[in-house]
Amino acid sequence: MKIVVLDAYTLNPGDLSWDRLGELGELEIHDRTLPEEMAERCKGADAIITNKALVTRETIENLRELRYIGVTATGVNIVNCEAASERGIPVTNVPGYGPKSVAQMAFAHILNLTQRTAHHANEVSAGRWASCPDFCFTDFPLVELDGLTLGILGYGTIGKETAGIGRAFGMKVIAHSRSLKENIEGEVEAVSMDTLFGQSDVLSLHCPLTPETDRVVNSENLAQMKSSAFLINTGRGQLVDEEALANALNAGHLAGAGLDVLSTEPPSPHNPLPQAKNCFVSPHIAWATYAARKRLLAATAKNLRSFIDGKTANVVNGV
């Protein structure tokens, strides 16, 4: 079996081993693959492994030996699953490899917004503490999380992990989700979308991107939020109307935002959010802890092993 990994670097920049995949066949690894390189690199492949490299209908139809497509992520929108199904090619993903890591990043942004840790550390490096007449200084009001309301949009595995951390800080947790029909005593209060936006002191997005949630953070919903509230997005960039959020931040209608995702990645130079007031953007790295990447690579190999053994594991297109 010839196995081609199309964009290996983000998953494994050199600190993990490809041995488990290598045991399954002839392994060819590429750090990155441009669209114009796809056809040549995939020629003769029985299995291709991708993260963000697009696997189009044309690619699938032209690769006559292709029998398997593995995605090193949960979302599979980069693969034309319909074309794969028509040829009887299973498409697999890896769910559940990083909930703790993503929830951890959500709170990294929350704590940065409430404590302004990065800002104050930078100011100490710049000499401001050494020249301060007092034993401490603060440039922003510091916010205690205990007693505040944490709103969760989307109460799946990552949403639940984030909620658990919030409760550990003494926060009240409310959530809106298709799967959350009623309150869970001692855990979460189920609320309407309007209540979620209106009552949250911190609103964290963990819902899938669907036609209903596309740009759910828009001018209308932002107008319902407290001016003291913070917005966190470690989900999908398209959940946010970026122009509307930038306007709300710059006008002081929202206290701050912590984002790990944007609608286009890497972002356009014209994206208003990296330069917006009190907006902090990390480069889509919530998933990328060593522990999460190790689980992801192991699960990717396990998915392919199951296919070789004639079994079904994490197939998303029903083949």
pLDDT digits (tens, 9 = 90+) for 124-178: 999 999 999 999 999 999 999 999 999 999 999 999 999 999 999 999 999 999 9
Q: Which of 116, 120, 236, 293 is catalytic?
A: 236
What is the overall mean pLDDT for the chain?
A: 97
Q: Catalytic: 206?
A: no
Q: Catalytic: 176?
A: no
91 phi and psi angles, rounded to 5 deg: -115, 125
Q: What is the pLDDT of residue 55?
A: 97
Q: Catalytic: 236?
A: yes
Give the chain's domains with CATH numbers: 2-97+290-308 (3.40.50.720), 99-281 (3.40.50.720)
pLDDT digits (tens, 9 = 90+) for 271-290: 999 999 999 999 999 999 99
pLDDT digits (tens, 9 = 90+) for 192-249: 999 999 999 999 999 999 999 999 999 999 999 999 999 999 999 999 999 999 999 9
Q: Which of 109, 120, 176, 284 is catalytic?
A: 284
Q: Which of 265, 270, 293, 295 is catalytic?
A: 265
